[in-house]
Each structure stands twice: as C-alpha cells, then as structure tokens.
Amino acid sequence: MLLRNNNPSTVSPLVTVRASPSVRSGTRGPASTSGSCRPRRLLLLSEMARMPNPPLYVKPLVAVGVLTVLVSFLGAHYELESPVWPACSWLWSKLNEIDAVRENVEALKTIVGTDERNRFSKLSHQREKAARNAKGGDKNVDFSGKGLPVFTREQLQLFDGTRPSKPVYLAILGRVYDVERGRKHYGKGGGYHFFAGRDATRAFVSGDFTEEGLVDDVDGLGEQDLLGILDWITFYQRDYSLVGVLQGTYYDADGEMTEKLVEVTQLIEKAKEWRNSQTKESEVFPPCNSEWHKDSGGRVWCTTKSGGVHREWVGVPRKLFSAATKSYRCACVKNFGSPLATHDEKGNRGDLDHPGLEEYAECPPTSMSCKLPLKSS
C-alpha cells in the first residue's frame, strides 16, 4: 500500500525516502542534508515498519477511497443498477477533495493503467451488446430529419457538458442525441468528454481521439467501419433520445438529408449486403488455420473449428479467389457428400469442383494440411 510521507523535507507527498535520524528518534527538526533522496519506489515491509506512522485519519480515508473506487468500478463493469452507486459517487467526490486520498488513488490508477482507450473499449462492448439486443436492429434507424430541431455547430457546442445548466449532447452522422443520463462519462472530466458538443463520427471507429481525428468525415472508410458506425447509431438510438440533427455535412438548414448523407446511407446498405455475403461465404468456405516461420516457410491446415466456424466436417485447404478483393485466401473446402455452395454442381465431392477454387502446389489434394514454401527473393 502506498503511504503518505509527512516529512516536510520531501519533495512530493508520494516520494518515498529514508527517514532522517531525527525523525527516527522521534524529534522534530529539518531532515539531514548529508544524504540524498532515493528514486521513487514502493517500500519494503521492513522499511515500512521503521517509518513513522502518518496521522490517524490518512490510513482509513485512503482505504475507504480505494474501496469506494473498487465498488463503483464493479457496479459500472457489470452494469448494475442500485441506490448504492449514487451514494458511492457522492462519497468519492468528497474523499477526492482530500489530497492524501486523491494522490494515492491516482497512483493506483496509474499502476492499473486506466486511460481513455480502455474506457472506450468498455463503451464499445456496450455498443455491440446494444446492437445485438436491439429489436429490429438497424432496420429501425430512420435517417430522415423531418420534424426534428436543427442545430448549428455553435449551438451544439453549448451542450458539451461544461455547463451544469445544460444537458450533454453529442452527434454521430449528423444525428444529435441527449446523453445527459451518461453525464459522468460524457460531461467534463468524463472518459468520453471528447465526444460531447460535436460530431466526431470518424473517431467512433478509428479510435483517434485527437482534434484531427474528432471529425465527422467518413471518406475512405471500409465496409467494416461503416457497419461499426451503424452499430453506434443503433446503440444511441436504443439507450438515448434523438433530439435533433446537425446542420452541416449530413443535414441542411431545413433538416433535410444532404447528398453526402444519401451517399453514406447507400454505402451502409452495400456494407450490410457485404456482411451478409461474407457470413454466408465463411460458413461454406471457412478460413484455414495458418502459421508462418521465416526459416521454414508456412503451413495452412483445417480442423472442425478452423476460421471460428464450428462444423461436423474438416475439409481440405484450397485457394479461394475473391472477386471483390481480386486476391486469394485459404479456405477449408468440404470434400465429400453434397456441395454447400449455391452453384449447380452435384455429386459426392462436396465443393471441390467450385470454379473459384485452386489447389496448393506440391500439396496432396486429399491432405488436410499444406506447406507453404518460402518466397524466393
């Protein structure tokens, strides 16, 4: 446990130094200047026993502070609803005013490694859960802004969580949501405060939370990222209230969709079709397991769980050509019984006769594992 050092000669309350002879003997007075401060480190138990005891109020308050943070963390992590959590928040706000408590808890946070990206990953987990559980899924998202209030960028900035008299708003793809219920996250000092009072659509999938990354531009994003944005909208649509649209990139001054938003929604529809085709293709042609060694080359092989697709058959490795990417990937192909693909071939060879497949060179066609030779330089 970190202890507050009450020796007035130390530079910082959290710097651990050896007690001067005057301190050890219990006498007051300036510390000896003959020695120098050691680097910061945790005290050994033997050294802790020789250190003077801090004032009585420090130890229990530090312990209460740490326990409060722990209880609050567990409640937030497991999304529990209880009157205990507001009480813990109030207690922590009071304890945080005490320097000794705040410094020790901040040190604990540093050791644990809490940062915005970890918090954002927690929010991403909530978003994915909301997207899975939302009734009707993304079909319920209506991008029309008719009848909704229209915000300018300057007006939206007034709802950035720094004004106690105003709720917290954020925008994603031009849609403005009231996230006041999550003020502890989106308000001043919260882990997601950078989203408040603006449209930072791109950052929701890029993870770039700098000023350059907190923008609404989605140009160049692939299908997976566009689907990620749609999942975020589904999350906010379910858990928060839509209060308006933002004039600018995606809506005009009358709340009508701009050409840019029409273009993006069309790309999202294509991304949904891509996702459906990818899911179907992966079930028919699951990806192979693979490994690579710089000295001996690589290997691809199939199992009943390769590619994350659980099935009753193992299959054999084949190169599958993708018309979308104009490239090959390794696929495990069913090699007996009726085919799973949608082409017209019939028989008892599974999908081996699919026109998009190619055998690996120098690999027996019935082998479940194929070696990949080193590429010649």
Which class for 101: exposed (0-12), middle (13-18), buried (19 or more C-beta within 10 A)?
A: buried
**Mean pLDDT on 23-29:** 43
Residue 350: Cβ within 10 Å count: 20
Confidence of residue 145 (pLDDT cuts 50, 70, 90): confident
Domain boundary among 242, 275, 308: 275
Same domain assignment for residues 170 and 252: yes
Same domain, yes or no: 258 and 143: yes
Nearest to 143 by CA among 274, 270, 255: 255
| Total of domains in the chain | 3
What does DSSP assign to residue 198?
Answer: S
pLDDT digits (tens, 9 = 90+) for 153-168: 999 999 999 999 999 9
Sign of the Cα pseudo-torsion (172, 150, 248, 253, in order): positive
Last residue of a domain, one of 86, 112, 138: 112
Q: Assess whether pLDDT exceeds 50 at residue 7.
A: no
pLDDT of residue 346: 62
Per-residue confidence (pLDDT) for residue 103, from 0 to 100: 61
Residue 260 lies in a domain: yes
User: Is pLDDT above 80 for 86?
Assistant: no
- Check whether residue 260 and residue 302 sit in a common domain: no
Is 14 within the bounds of a domain? Answer: no
Phi first, then psi: give them for residue 270, nearest 5 degrees. -65, -35
Quick one: pLDDT at residue 96? 58
d(CA 39, CA 227): 50
Residue 2 pLDDT greater than 50, yes or no: no
Domain span holding position 356: 285-372
Domain membership of residue 6 (yes or no) is no
CA distance 355 to 331: 14
Any domain includes 2? no
Residue 128 has pLDDT above 80, yes or no: no
Which among 226, 257, 275 is the end of a domain? 275
Same domain, 312 and 339: yes
State the DSSP code for 308: G
Is residue 132 located within the same domain as residue 177?
Answer: yes
**Confidence bin at 134 (pLDDT 50/70/90):** very low
Tell me, yes or no, whether 271 and 125 share the same domain.
Answer: yes
Same domain? 327 vs 220: no
Q: Strands 241-246, 150-151: parallel, antiparallel or unpaired by DSSP?
A: parallel
User: 40 Cβ partners below 8 Å, 6+ apart?
Assistant: 14, 15, 16
Same domain as 267, residue 141: yes
Condensed to tens digits (0 to 9), the pLDDT of residues 273-298 reads: 888 877 788 889 999 999 887 778 88
